[in-house]
């Protein structure tokens, strides 16, 4: 599996808008054929910090996600709401394995 953990720091005045836009991206992303997980987390002690945990069956599936209309819309919508550029860190998923 191809895993990306995206760290996002959102401007305080845009938290609710960011959550709604990210919810729409999540709902569409989990319907992608190569998607295995798409979790959205908010840091308990700092509401401005989020983590997106994106798991795709393959590197090609992860790359295809970045070409979808819902991702492109999300990226454009939230760009000015970030306090700093988002940071995506790539991982290879070892466990669990797919059957």
Number of domains comprising the chain: 1
Q: Are strands 35-42 and 87-92 parallel, antiparallel or unpaired?
A: unpaired
For residue 99, pLDDT over 70 is answered with no
Question: What CATH code is carried by the domain that includes residue 73?
Answer: 3.30.70.100
Q: How far apart are CA 80 and CA 10, in angstroms?
A: 9
pTM: 0.93
Burial class (CB in 10 A: 0-12, 13-18, 19+), 54: buried
Q: Tell me if 43 is assigned to some domain.
A: yes
Residues 30-73 have pLDDT tens digits of: 999 999 999 999 999 999 999 999 999 999 999 999 999 999 99
97 within domain boundaries: no
What residue numbers bound the domain in which 21 lies? 2-92
Helix (H, G, I), strand (E, B) or coil at 1: coil
User: Which residues contact residue 49 at a Cβ distance below 8 angstroms, ignoring those fewer than 6 apart?
Assistant: 7, 8, 9, 10, 42, 43
């Amino acid at each position: 599996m191809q895993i990306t953990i995206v760290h996002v720091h959102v401007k305080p005045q845009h938290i609710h808008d960011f959550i709604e836009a990210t919810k729409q991206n999540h709902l569409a992303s989990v319907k992608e054929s190569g998607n295995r997980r798409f979790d959205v987390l908010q840091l308990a002690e700092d509401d401005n910090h989020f983590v997106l945990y994106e798991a795709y069956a393959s590197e090609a599936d992860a790359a295809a996600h970045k070409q979808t209309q819902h991702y492109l819309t999300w990226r454009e919508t939230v760009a000015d709401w970030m306090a700093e550029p988002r940071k995506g860190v790539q991982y290879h998923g070892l466990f669990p394995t797919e059957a």
